[in-house]
Chains A and B, each alone.
Chain A
């Protein structure tokens, strides 16, 4: 379902520069969409057009299938439903305290006092800002200010959030935390639209990308398709994403499986499986193309996991029952990833699980979980890139626990299960303290 659609959208600034030159796009609901282009390619102007802040010189915008009419009522509706987070948080966070800034949107929507209080406190807690609610914005760090800006939008329950360069001016940890929050918002059904010139972010994060140059969309598609096209990248003044570049180089040297699009480090690692050939003795009735079960290997014969089930496909049969086979390995009894719901945190219960499950590595995801872990002096080994890094640890046979809460639980389960499906390596994943 399409949430926003534009037809022939054009806009020029009063000084005569044409910032958007006829844009036709369809943005689907519930997706993560990235607009990629160098600075000054018209992304920010397009965003202001999309939520009705600027009025196009030509062209039309359709929200939920209805044409935007630019009268008070429809502007109000589109602004409630399409929230926009500006690049510079100081442009947006204007109230003297964090609480008042987050409450600004709900107040304008005419909620009752009790509703406002509930909404604002809930949002602040979700973003790990409860402790900062009486602070003035000039006492906050860049990352905190960004979270306040996003919280101010989320408090209005929009269907889609537009973020202009969300990771600009954030430190790596702050950027990672923000990405966690965005993943979770998306998982709960909010469509996200970001602009960026960071190809790595667009490649690994988005479901769908648009390339913009000089106010025009010159290409679109899923990241897998769009970033394959070197000519398109050249026209858009962009370069290949780092993970893709590394993979291509490894593949060219024959060290990785071909035709993949790894987006994360575990996926690159997973592609590093050159076909393994081996001489084996086979029963006389074996034919070429048969699959043989070689049983479970361990110790130095298991390459990726402590134990591996190895199958062999017969490629060529030689004299004396000798054959050349290609091995495929499936890790069994690799480490596990256990997810602990911090909404139901209980110190004794938690310690119990730590012992019983023989946890080696603890990762915390989401601001709320990190703060809670800090309060109870839980030693957190992984605080950034939690899902990817726990997968890597589990592949090495470690038992990992992810502390997280709310919508991030199904999100993590989904990400890990996707990995298991793609790689064929069985990791043990489950939520520990479900009711």
Chain B
């Protein structure tokens, strides 16, 4: 009897971590629930990756892929398949989408024809990582006299230019940016929010703290195809719930290494 009880305890313990990872507040999918086709851009490996076979994406994984699955379940359906959409501009201009939802690094400021846009699910703010030994900046004023650096062309350079007294150093790659901060050539690295976790991963000993984020852009949003059976308002409602119950934060920590929305905003 005691062996049976012990076995039950072990089984329960084994089941707990899995339950912790699952979207446990989501109701089970009802038979006959709508099947969704989800468009993916496959532009950013942390947000979405997979194997492209024709137009179909198999073995899909990433922050947005998980979010799509959870969102579909919260909307009472499931993801039937993922398809590749090559460019957000074309995707949004298309009046005849063969998907219901699309995640393709779509900025909240996009103009659309064939789709409605949700509220943001991921910030496009710029995260500030300082070098070791630098006094922790409390606000943007403290950063003005610092040497700010960013990777050329990744969007953070605009924020660097806005907040630096002298022209920011623009570097060709994240590796160079890392070297510049660890060697003190830069006081602070400005990194796009979705890349900040990967930037600091494994390098915490040679970098200073992640001190906060600078407001930038309007975030990434979901495109909801018009006439696809889903309403953007319903998607917004579910995204708000996912934000409120911590699911979005958990997904960000899992796939991006940190939850940028949890960082303080530097003003």
Say whether A associates with B.
Answer: no
